[in-house]
Amino acid sequence: MTGELEYTNEPYAVAKIAGIKMCESYNLQYGTNYISVMPTNLYGPNDNYNLETSHVLPALIRKMHLGKCLGNQDWTAIRKDLKKYPVEGINDSSSEGEVIAKLAKFGIVSSLKETSGKTEITINLWGTGSPYREFLYVDDLAAACVYALQNVDFKDLVTEGKPAINTHINIGTGRDLRIKELAELIAGIVNFKGTLSWDSSKPDGTFRKLLDVSKINRLGWKEKISLEKGISMVYEKYIS
């Protein structure tokens, strides 16, 4: 509570802060023992893969999977994907031309290279790829919540002789990476061989959102699932 809220995030942030402050105030006034946790960006199985509404990590996984399948002309895999997650009326029974046109709208662009006769895929992504984001596998968040329930009391979050403020617990890894690095990591895991193109005319969003996780680490908890392992697990689940 020492800095200005980022404007595009402000209403969402105010709502979260109100809940945290309500629990903190109940603890101080009525002796309750609410623990508020604040997770970083989460990912995991059964995420939202809708190309219009999904967050960056699941969106990149799906786009690169579809891009890989298009490049390989693997229409069985493409139709399997569209059967589970239709895209604006395009599903597993749509024609190849309809599917190609619709995917191009969402930045998955295929073109035939005359010299080789091979289909080349370009995935167009918003922004410059320079902002940083931190990610936590959802099972690690669940483990942290259970750990806090079993091992942490509100009194553990109050520094003696100081006002009881900012008593929530950040849950994350304490490490972030650029969106461009994330895209390249996912491309390697998915085995997408096409081109990533960045549209700098589109907004980047908040530059950095790294959490200070020293409190949860000091209380005895640390994440176990690395980003590379977590994304690999998610992709394996996705294609199955």
pLDDT, tens digit (0-9, with 9 covering 90-100), for 48-92: 999 999 999 999 999 999 999 999 999 999 999 999 999 998 999
- Mapped onto helix, strand or coil, the DSSP state of residue 74 is coil
What whole-number distance in Å separates Cα of residue 179 and Cα of residue 189? Answer: 15
CATH no. for 7-239: 3.90.25.10
User: Do 213 and 21 contact (CB within 8 A), yes or no?
Assistant: no
Residues in the chain: 240
- DSSP 8-state class, residue 5: P
Per residue in 187-199, pLDDT tens? 999 999 999 999 9
What whole-number distance in Å separates Cα of residue 216 and Cα of residue 212? Answer: 9
Query: pLDDT value at position 43?
Result: 98
Handedness of CA 94, 95, 97, 99 (dihedral sign): positive
Catalytic residue among 12, 26, 43, 147: 12
Percent of the chain whose pLDDT exceeds 90: 84
Q: For this structure, is 12 an active site residue?
A: yes
**Closest listed residue to residue 62, CA positions, set 75, 78, 74:** 78
pTM, two decimals, is 0.90
- Mapped onto helix, strand or coil, the DSSP state of residue 132 is strand
